[in-house]
Amino acid sequence: MGRRARGRRLQQQAQPEGAEDGAEDGGKRGPTGWEGGYPEIVKENKLFEQYYQELKIVPDGEWDQFMDALREPLPATLRITGYKRYPEELAWHTNLSRKILRKSPQLEKFHQFLVSETESGYISRQEAVSMIPPLLLHVQPHHKILDMCAAPGSKTTQLIEMLHADMNVPFPEGFVIANDVDNKRCYLLVHQAKRLSSPCIMVVNHDASSIPRLTIDVDGKKEVLFYDRILCDVPCSGDGTIRKNTDVWKKWSTMNSLQLHGLQLRIATRGAEQLTEGGRMVYSTCSLNPIEDEAVIASLLEKSEGALELADVSTELPGLKWMPGVSQWKVMTRDGQWFADWDEVPQGRHTQIRPTMFPLKDQEKLQAMHLERCLRILPHHQNTGGFFVAVLIKKSSMPWNKRHPKVQSKSSEIRGTTQPSPMTTTEGKPCDPSEMESQMVTETVDTEIMCTSENMEHKKDGVCGPPPSKKMKLFGFKEDPFVFIPEDDPLFPPLEKFYALDPSFPKMNLLTRSTEGKRRQLYMVSRQLRNVLLNNSERMKVINTGIKVWCRNNGGEEFDCAFRLAQEGIYTLYPFIKSRIITVSLEDVKVLLTQENPFFRKFSSETFSQVKDLAKGSIVLKYEPDTTNPDALQCPIVLCGWRGKASIRTFVPKNERFHYLRMMGLEVLGEKKKEVLATKESMASSEQPEDEEGAQPTAEEASVPEAACDPAVAEPPR
């Protein structure tokens, strides 16, 4: 008998009579099982209970409810992608765990629906409490936003949606710069952001605690970029996610919080420095530990010397149950030793425990900070995970940034005007080396940035390359450059003529990712992101930005235009296209989405009359709702298509096709082994019309892998 089989046998013997191995919420499991025979994790940690009972973070009489909630699986929640605020029926909460959603045969269709809609960007699987920080930022379409620790990107997508609150504006004035220190997680972030098809998002790869200060061009002058909104969702111990990340039960230790406190404070400090006066920063963690929460906020407020204040957001999310922040706490070591004050900490523990981890002694100062304005979300109050949120408003510059460095000054002048960092002690406490390091890194980074501004003027116009080669080892994979296309480039006249582009089309915002050879893909960014790219390419590691709007045809020059439209960017590009737009009926849309290359005769006479005299090439297929028929689909659809010799085809990814068909009331997903409707993939064996050779889709447009990313996978704690 193998080791796993013996373990399973012993576990079954230990089960109480009538209990089912691995069943959740008293449910019965099938004969084959849902768990694969793995032993159940013991949801007990005496040190965890001792720590939080001593800190009294749970109201009197609610401890048992709190612990019972932690031992229950976390309900699955989802958010409908939309440019509105919640909870206007756009966020949904189920009583089903992620495991049940994935494994239950009765919910197979629903799970396939979640996978498909998530992949196409129309819903997002996101924990309920994770939706709170972006809502408290009060984002407006003109705001410049920094997401400091963005991966895997669920909150970033919320921020993008808020920028596009007015769907009639293809290029909002604002933008989102999403950063993460982990190069590989940055690509997960890119995948999440691309689902929303926004030209206003840039993904960068930096250590958030020393993220470079950027510059932008304002009326011909270089100015420091300050952000209107900053989301500071820092890495944390994640004990608030214990309901979905059950490993926390056996791995939890106070050392996790003690080790992360310094990094969290440095990240929050760097965020506060880059926030504009009057701007709003949200600091959040999925931890219940005051060392990671109120201790960081109190230390940041203390050294800001009045530049920051906690906002009262108690009325901003009606219906949310929360507890006020705590103002008194103690520090506990891994072996259970308690310290109520820094003076009690022995010299040998000064490397693990720092003075900023303790509450202030000065009660007047402590009360003035209003730590009770912080929000603590406890799992048992609304069947959620645990969470902490604090909203900070910047009233003035940070003390060490009272005089902003002048970007156009020479290096010697910059060195002369640099302000020293605040290294003085407070209340007799020795200065924290981690804080000193943070300030030194900040000054060094900022000074380097200002000194290199002159060198940037000599780089090739419009080419935004990666950092210099000598610095490449500090980053991850080498990225292709971002090359803006000159407005007088010969590429533009054929595009303008073929698609009758409106004179207001922003040609200057078009870019490619190669300096040599034929341009294969054309991308579009907003004017503000173009400004950021051109002025910061030497100091910023950009992973991805822009939305694909055109792709080169395989047949290229055989047609009047070498580029066809890309579905990814059609909603951005459509307002500027005045030609080759075909208005189709709802029945025509069904034909286009369920057949590979339908001939002209399969469409309505109105559609045929529009396409019969058109030259071969890329077209826009537009469905306008019939307001006189309330039973018909009441939202517009814009698809990219190709007018062939005798047929029309669409270039729409599989899951997006399924989405549109669902909107029309058609069931598109059955069992995994078969699909109800004949889709593009099921008809791939049919003969290809000769005239379609020049319109082959790219791999990412033609299909989406069957093993699509499962939205029920747990989001790693920040």
Binding-site sequence positions for S-adenosyl-L-methionine: 149-155, 180, 207, 233
Task: Give the 3-state DSSP-derived string for 186-248, with helices as H, strands as E and coil as C.
Answer: HHHHHHHHHCCCCCCEEEECCCHHHCCCCEEEECCEEEECCEEEEEEECCCCCHHHCCCCCCH
Q: In the 8-state DSSP scheme, what is residue 415?
A: H
HSE-CB for 286 with a 13 A CA cutoff:
22
To the query of whether residue 286 is one of the catalytic residues in this protein, the response is yes
Q: In the 8-state DSSP scheme, what is residue 21?
A: T
Yes or no: say if 286 and 718 are a contact pair by the CB < 8 Å rule.
yes
Q: In the 8-state DSSP scheme, what is residue 176?
A: E
- The owner of tokens 């050294």 is 303
Yes or no: say if 597 and 518 are a contact pair by the CB < 8 Å rule.
no
CA 572 vs CA 58, 175, 451, 526, 566: distances in Å: 49, 15, 37, 10, 10
SS3 555: coil
Q: Which residues pair with 215 in a beta bridge?
A: 224
SS3 618: strand
- Cis amide bond preceding 152, omega within 30: yes
β strands within 266-386, DSSP E: 275-285, 308-310, 323-324, 331-332, 338-339, 375-377
Handedness of CA 104, 108, 110, 116 (dihedral sign): positive
Catalytic-role residue among 200, 286, 374, 464: 286
Helix (H) or strand (E) holding 642: strand 637-643
CA 470 vs CA 13, 501, 538, 689: distances in Å: 62, 43, 12, 52
SS3 631: coil
Handedness of CA 193, 198, 201, 203 (dihedral sign): positive
Q: How do 323-324 and 215-218 pair as beta strands?
A: unpaired
Q: How do 581-584 and 617-623 pair as beta strands?
A: parallel
Phi, psi of 676 (to 5 degrees): -70, -40
Residue 159 token pair: 């921020």
Report which of 163, 231, 151, 236 is spatially closest to residue 197, judged by C-alpha positions.
Answer: 163
Residue 653 token pair: 């990814």
Yes or no: say if 414 and 326 are a contact pair by the CB < 8 Å rule.
no
Count, residues in the chain: 718
Rounded to whole angstroms, how far apart are CA atoms 468 and 464? 11
At residue 708, what is the residue type?
A
What is the chain's alpha carbon radius of gyration, rounded to the nearest angstrom?
A: 28
Phi, psi of 511 (to 5 degrees): -140, 165
Yes or no: say if 88 and 677 are a contact pair by the CB < 8 Å rule.
no
Question: Which residues are part of the catalytic machinery?
Answer: 286
